[in-house]
A and B are shown apart, each in its own frame.
Chain A
Amino acid sequence: MSVSPVIVASGGANLASLKFALQRLGIDAPVTENPDQIRNASHVLLPGVGAARDAMMRLDAAKLTALIPQLSQPVLGICLGMQLLFSGSDEDHAECLGIISGRARRFPQDKKLPVPQMGWNQIRLGAASKLLNGLADGGYAYFIHSYALPEGDYTRATAEYGTSFSAIVAQDNFYGTQFHPERSAGLGARLLANFLDL
């Protein structure tokens, strides 16, 4: 693979995990918030943990909120990073990047289903996408989140947690996974390899 991806330094603690996951695929991806470096990368990974509003403020401070929607190379948002690609989130009524139309909503309260969802859950593959190559329908991925995107035209895989929600999304060159591919064993490694093949 001759690719030169970058990981956007969005803050949060899973940057090391993502970097190592790419290393296991033989790819060294710098972590950066430099706009030029991001613009020139072959692929852009946008991770994120924490709250949507904080993450947007960090991207704004790094002058990335205008840049990211203009990127033409493949972009993969992970977990909160995926939610940031959308119009907004009910979490603190945050406005996000607005690349994909939709809004993250909090999981409904249900005594049997603790929020955040934290653990392995099955994904159901939907509309075809190169990102899904070789993934098993019903395969398990690792999720940690309290907010989720409802199903929409952008949905490429779903999962169930009291309600059905988007586990993988795609629109044009923008992609996202609600789960953490860097912590989803073989399924996650395959998805990251698929992304770098785009």
Chain B
Amino acid sequence: MVVKGVQFRNHQVMGNILDLASRYRDEGADELVFYDITASPDGRTVDRSWVNRVAEILDIPFCVAGGIRSLDDAETVLNFGADKISINSPALEHPELIETLARRFGSQCVVVGVDSSSEESDYWVYQYTGDPERSRSSQRKTLEWIREVQERGAGEIVLNCMNQDGVRQGYDLEQLTSVRAVCQVPLIASGGAGELEHFKDVFEVAAVDGALAASVFHSAAIRIFDLKTYLLDARIAVRPPETEE
């Protein structure tokens, strides 16, 4: 589950963020990822106090992604109550940041997001994907990068398969299966969820530890309660939605 926020500091949007967070909490989401796209790469200090507001209302784990470029950034977000931080482009620029964060906070806090594209019969890591003008191949092969980030101390990997992102045609099972084979830490699939079956397939075929989606939940095309009921019927082990006592 991802909440993408434009202007987290705008009051109305903040209200929407908190409403969304409580809605997904109540529907039975297992974890939320907040993608702070206002935390721009220009290096200015950003106000992260919204993390504290989210931590007040959530009783499930949550992760903050976007603009975490240093130990200080990470510490701010974790002290405000986030359970994990996710780094993507900054890890590609300075891979040693993964070690620094893992050593200081423990691997369990450190998620590495990987945006990967299938091209010329191989998988390639992209960076700066938040900005269409800057998005470009990092020249790193995805499988090599997945191995490297684990050695450096990543505790979890979110693999966003770019060819599938936003098109709702299902997760990239082939790519996720290849990555699963080299990934010993929890692997979260991202990009492509459109139907209930897509979630079942990604757990059964690619044996991922989690499935992340945004647009199908935001648009209410899929309700988390219905999804979990469906997965339980398909004998996939998920935490059942909590019902009112």
Q: Which residues of A contact B (CB under 8 A)?
A: 13-14, 16-17, 20-21, 23-24, 49-50, 111, 114, 116, 118-120, 140, 142, 144, 180, 182-186, 188-189
Bound form: Cα–Cα A121–B137 in Å:
38
B155–A118 CB distance below 8 A: yes
Cβ-defined partner of A13 (8 Å) among B25, B30, B105, B239: B105
B186–A183 CB distance below 8 A: no
Cβ-defined partner of B186 (8 Å) among A49, A118, A142: A118
CB of A164, distance to nearest CB on chain B (Å): 17
Does chain A have a CB within 8 A of B201? no
Top 9 A-B pairs, shortest CB-CB distance: A140-B239, A16-B81, A13-B78, A186-B242, A120-B239, A144-B108, A20-B56, A183-B61, A114-B185
Q: Per-residue CB proximity of B51-62 to A under 8 Å, as 1/0?
A: 010011101110
Cβ-defined partner of A189 (8 Å) among B30, B59, B79, B186: B59
Bound form: Cα–Cα A182–B61 in Å:
9
A17–B108 CB distance below 8 A: no
B80–A142 CB distance below 8 A: no
Does chain A have a CB within 8 A of B156? yes
Chain A residue nearest to B60 in the complex (CB): A185
B239–A20 CB distance below 8 A: no
A23–B186 CB distance below 8 A: no
Does chain A have a CB within 8 A of B209? yes
Bound form: Cα–Cα A188–B242 in Å:
12
Chain B residue contacts of A50, Cβ below 8 A: 106
Query: Would you list which residues of chain B between 2 and 55 have a CB under 8 Å from chain A?
Result: 25, 30, 52, 55
Q: Which residues of B contact A (CB under 8 A)?
A: 25, 30, 52, 55-57, 59-61, 78-81, 83, 105-109, 155-156, 184-186, 209-210, 239-240, 242
Chain A residue contacts of B61, Cβ below 8 A: 142, 180, 183
Chain B residue contacts of A49, Cβ below 8 A: 106
A188–B108 CB distance below 8 A: no
Q: Which of A20, A23, A50 has the most CB of B within 10 A?
A: A20
A120–B30 CB distance below 8 A: yes
Chain B residue contacts of A184, Cβ below 8 A: 59
CB of A186, distance to nearest CB on chain B (Å): 5
B186–A17 CB distance below 8 A: no
Chain A residue nearest to B59 in the complex (CB): A185
Chain B residue nearest to A23 in the complex (CB): B56
B80–A118 CB distance below 8 A: no
Chain B residue nearest to A51 in the complex (CB): B106
Chain B residue nearest to A110 in the complex (CB): B184
27 A-B pairs with C-beta separation under 8 A: A13-B78, A13-B79, A13-B81, A14-B83, A17-B55, A17-B81, A24-B57, A111-B184, A116-B106, A116-B108, A116-B155, A118-B108, A118-B156, A119-B186, A119-B209, A119-B210, A120-B239, A140-B240, A142-B61, A144-B83, A144-B108, A183-B61, A185-B59, A185-B242, A186-B59, A186-B242, A189-B59
Q: Name 9 extra pairs, CB < 8 A, besides A140-B239, A144-B108.
A: A20-B81, A24-B56, A116-B108, A118-B155, A120-B239, A140-B240, A183-B61, A185-B25, A186-B59
Chain B residue contacts of A189, Cβ below 8 A: 59
Chain B residue nearest to A16 in the complex (CB): B81
Chain B residue contacts of A111, Cβ below 8 A: 184
Bound form: Cα–Cα A50–B78 in Å:
13
A182–B59 CB distance below 8 A: yes
Bound form: Cα–Cα A15–B69 in Å:
23
CB of B187, distance to nearest CB on chain A (Å): 9
CB of A21, distance to nearest CB on chain B (Å): 6
Bound form: Cα–Cα A189–B83 in Å:
17
